[in-house]
Amino acid sequence: MKFATDGKDGAVRALGASFALALSATALEGLSAGLCLAAVLFVTEFITALFRPILPDKLRFSASLLLAATTATLLSILAEKFFPAFYGAAALYFPALAFETVVRIGTENTDAAFFTGLFTVGALFLAGIIRELLGSGSLFGFGLWDFQIGFFKHPAGAFFVLGVIAACMNLIKRRTHA
């Protein structure tokens, strides 16, 4: 259960990242943003863990940051080539992705990084579904109804939905600990 707890803690912190907040307007965008965050987090932690025996503690943070920056660069190139629509929305946020994963989320081991990534993908996907359903009355681009609440399309809606999800995750964590 330790991994799951670590995962929830990291995922709650991930919800405050600019990449998560800016890219959760639709279900597909939320899923893509979650996968990007999870990929940077896992690759960085996995490679750092591989080199841990020969990597001095003093250099660990710098090495993690460089690895995260490299992974973010590769992801931005892939997104530009294969998912231009997502890249259009995310281009501004890719540079800060390295700091968001290493400084804000910063997991302790590969297992924690994996579970944090998993919970982050789930949380952002859920945020995207809620915002798309309520903000645009559609899901995955397919219109479901005419009822729309503009608030959920705006930045205020992103803060609100992710704040409620973060509070729910904290509540679940407390219940599972009790």
Partner 1 sequence: MKSLLLAVFAAAFSRNILLNRFFGLDAAPNLKKALTGGLAATVLAVLASLIAYPISSELLSPLGLQRLEILLFVPAVSALTALAEKLLARPVLPAAADSLVLGVMTIALRGEFDPALGADPLLSAILFPLFAGLGFTLISVLLTATSIRTQHAPEAVRGLPAALLSASFLAMAFYVFTLI
Binding site for partner 1 (CB under 8 A): 12-13, 15-18, 21-22, 62, 65-66, 68-70, 72-73, 76-77, 92-96, 98-100, 103-104, 151, 154-160, 162-164, 166-168, 170-171, 174
Q: Which is nearer to partner 1, 140 or 151 (CB)?
A: 151
Residue 12 Cβ vs partner 1, minimum distance, rounded to whole Å: 6
Residue 143 Cβ vs partner 1, minimum distance, rounded to whole Å: 26
Residue 146 Cβ vs partner 1, minimum distance, rounded to whole Å: 23
Q: Which is nearer to partner 1, 66 or 118 (CB)?
A: 66
Q: Which is nearer to partner 1, 35 or 173 (CB)?
A: 173
Please give the DSSP secondary-structure letter assigned to residue 92: T
Read out DSSP for 94-130?
HHHHHHIIIIII--SSHHHHHHHHHHHHHHHHHHHHH
Give, in degrees to the nearest 5, the angle at Cα 144 between 139 and 148.
Answer: 85
The encoded tokens of residue 149 equal 């609440």
Q: Backbone phi, then psi, for 138, in 5-degree steps? A: -140, 170
